[in-house]
Chain A
């Protein structure tokens, strides 16, 4: 599975959009991009995923570049409760069931 690279930390003002980048330059054609977040020491929580097209749900939007080598998670109106560690991972294909890895993620701090 492809490895991902994320900045270790980011700050965002409350009410503003938080844009979290992720590089996955070795992603292969059948791999999806997934985003999770972890608040304090709870289990990671699924946010959104995509293959090629941009995706949006009630939590966030995911923008994937045309060459699929990078993506951006957008939290449109960040709140204090969005302060968490955000993980970008790539997964896909039955032959890679155990190979997706969580890197160290991006610690997002939303400030009042």
Chain B
């Protein structure tokens, strides 16, 4: 199993541009998550999904959108990029929320200038 994969690894955006961060998992997990991590800080939850077609907001959803059309994929869309969105973005998946550890991808480092 590849686990959780994310693309791209690095990206530089200009202010106002848009992009989609891709996330795919091959473990047939129902739950998927997007986090952002600013330098020296912990992870903050942006959006999560409990299954195909079902998504919900986390702590910091403003400026982002998600969709979940399949079990495997959970893309994160940035519209009108702002410097405050400069961060490292991690995707994760889990079998459940109670007894089910999260598996994290390698991250996407995004810079908005």
Contact = CB atoms under 8 A, between A and B. Distances in A.
Contacts of B41: 104
A94 B42 contact: no
B75 interface: no
Interface residues of A, number: 28
Given A97-B50, A98-B48, A98-B58, A44 B98 contact: no
Interface string A67-96: 000000000000000000001000111101
Main secondary structure of the interface of A (DSSP, over half): loop
A93 B59 CA distance: 18
B106 interface: yes
A93 B42 contact: no
Q: Which of A92, A102, A105 has most B Cβ within 10 Å? A: A102
Given A101-B42, A105-B42, 4 more contacts: A91-B97, A93-B97, A102-B42, A104-B42
19 contacts: A30-B98, A32-B98, A34-B102, A41-B107, A41-B109, A43-B105, A44-B102, A44-B104, A45-B104, A49-B101, A87-B42, A97-B56, A97-B97, A98-B57, A101-B42, A101-B44, A102-B42, A104-B40, A104-B41
